[in-house]
Structure 1
Amino acid sequence: MIARIDHVSLAVPDFDKAKIFFENLGAVAGVGAKDDTTKFYWQIFSLGDMSRIELISPTDKGSFLDGFMQSRGSGVHHITFQTYDLKQAIAKLDSMGIPYFGYNEYPGGVWKEIFIHPKHAFGVLIQIAEFNANDWLSPEVKMPDGQFQIEVKDGQIHLTLSHPGGGTATILLTKEQAKHLAQSLLSKI
């Protein structure tokens, strides 16, 4: 049902100040947008080992964040879990008797979401969303040629794998190790 934690969303009253703070810690700014309907701005940032945060900030009075900001100020607003099939996730929640709300589907189906209220999730607002993570990454953290790259340097094979949250992991292989890996993979099909 849940593929992974995609990001932790932080509500902040001063977006620019928060952005500078996290960029100084090494965060790489990704996609972001202003939502005029609910009066807020959001932006995703990739950090370190493929972790991501989202900064959300009100853009005007009457923002959906007003109540949260008045009662809590800055802080964790929600955690987003990625699912590959939102209909299946909804069916699972229904079978478990866990209530959800706020079904929303963006045009073209690029993002589908529901929420579980904190009173049903141990004090945390949970967003469950179906999407392609690569659609939301900045070019700086995207793999240029898909899910993996292979390079040969100094007689070693560098196998670099991508992560859907951004970032990479590189494994160094000898020729013998690469042959063994290829044989092991092919034996599974």
Structure 2
Amino acid sequence: MQIYRIDHVSQAAADLDAQVGLLEGLFGFRRVRAWDNPAEGVRGARLEIPGGPGQAWEVVAPAGDRSALRAWLDERGGRPGLHHVGAEVPDLAAARAELESRGIKPAEGPDGAWIEASLSPPEHGPGVLFRLRGPGGLSMCGDSGDNAVEPSGPDGPSSSPTNGRAALDGPSLGIVALDHVCQAFPDRDELARWYRDLAGFVQVWRTPEDAYPDMADLVLNIPGSSICWEVITGRGEDSFVDRFLERSGPGAHHVTFEVADWDAALAACERHGVPTFDDEEGVTDGAAWKHTFIHPKHTGGVLVQLFWEERPGVWVRSDKIPPTWT
């Protein structure tokens, strides 16, 4: 099996319009498609992320009386959050067979258009849910052409006075790319090798074991995709990673975006009444970098990291892989 492109990150929310309004207002995303499919229990919207061709964020919400998404939200006490990562594979049947050979039984979408499964080692429990499709049909979230809907106002959902955008008028964060999705896992090297063998992920960066007192991390490139995959592992006696794993299991920890102008991004947060935390900055090879976080309660259930770098490659560098790693 080979994943050759990340198509989108999907976020589930009870209130579709409010979440789309937040993403268009604060995040500066642009809605390019919307759909309503009660037969599959989902309505949704696809938003383009500035800066990268093919980078998309999708919001899905329950539709109809027998929606699996409604059950998913109910299991979380109604809390929204990251639902799945959508990706493409060259051969869907081969991907299904490979997963089943590793003890992973994927669920199948309508008419076999996609399959869905956690791609983490099954002995560790549920991880990040992936939704995989092969070449050809593009529908992955009930978003086939027959279910397309018109915008809720003359300029799309953002023009609707009931979707929360009115409170988000003003500057956006100035996002220029979705950089990576971060997954917490008990052993970063175990998961890196698993993803390499399963789906062709390639390690491009890692911190030394003792670089941080409470964590160690690495970054995997997904061939053909501009979006990377980070794995974080806890270190020490009171690691935030271990606390996360105890609470949520080996799932998605945060999503990271690059911004073009650091001061402008922070000003946008202040204008929208959105606080940041765990700010950090440094200099690498004479070039500055900065990063910060936005709490899930201000983003619709997803921990968001923002970073800025004065020169490409100084925040996360590709020359930090020990040559002995296998």
TM-score range, shorter chain: 0.5 to 0.7
| Equivalent position to 1:23, from 190, 196, 208 | 196
Letter in 2 for 1:47: I
Contact 2:202 2:220 in 1 (8 A): yes
Letter in 1 for 2:253: H
| Equivalent position to 1:120, from 270, 286, 298 | 298
* RMSD (Å) for aligned C-alpha atoms: 1.9
What's the counterpart of residue 55 of structure 1?
231
What's the counterpart of residue 173 of structure 1?
none
Higher mean displacement: 27-36 or 9-18:
27-36
Letter in 2 for 1:129: F
What's the counterpart of residue 257 of structure 2?
81
Distance in 2 (CA, whole Å) between partners of 1:133 and 1:56 is 22
What's the counterpart of residue 102 of structure 1?
278
Contact 1:38 1:64 in 2 (8 A): no
- In structure 2, the CA distance between the partners of 1:110 and 1:73, relative to structure 1 (3 Å rule), is farther
Letter in 1 for 2:301: G
Q: How does 1:150-165 map to 2 (within 5 A)?
A: none
Distance in 2 (CA, whole Å) between partners of 1:134 and 1:103 is 19
Distance in 2 (CA, whole Å) between partners of 1:45 and 1:74 is 16
What's the counterpart of residue 169 of structure 1?
none
Contact 2:202 2:223 in 1 (8 A): no
**TM-score (normalizing by structure 1):** 0.67
Report Cα offsets for 1:88-118 as digits up to 9, x if no partner: 1000111111121111102455430111001
Distance in 1 (CA, whole Å) between partners of 2:213 and 2:296 is 20
- In structure 2, the CA distance between the partners of 1:55 and 1:129, relative to structure 1 (3 Å rule), is same
Could you tell me which runs of 5 or more consecutive residues in structure 1 were left unpaired when the two chains were aligned: 140-189
Measured after TM superposition, the shift of residue 62 of structure 1 is 1.5
> Going by fraction, where is strand more abundant, 1 or 2?
1
Measured after TM superposition, the shift of residue 37 of structure 1 is 4.1
Distance in 1 (CA, whole Å) between partners of 2:254 and 2:213 is 16
Give me the identity figure in percent. 31
Measured after TM superposition, the shift of residue 64 of structure 1 is 2.2
Could you tell me which runs of 5 or more consecutive residues in structure 2 were left unpaired when the two chains were aligned: 1-173, 320-326
SS at match of 1:3: strand
- In structure 2, the CA distance between the partners of 1:87 and 1:55, relative to structure 1 (3 Å rule), is same
SS at match of 2:313: helix
1:10 equivalenced with 2:183 (yes/no):
yes
Distance in 2 (CA, whole Å) between partners of 1:52 and 1:75 is 16
- In structure 2, the CA distance between the partners of 1:14 and 1:52, relative to structure 1 (3 Å rule), is same
1:44 equivalenced with 2:223 (yes/no):
no
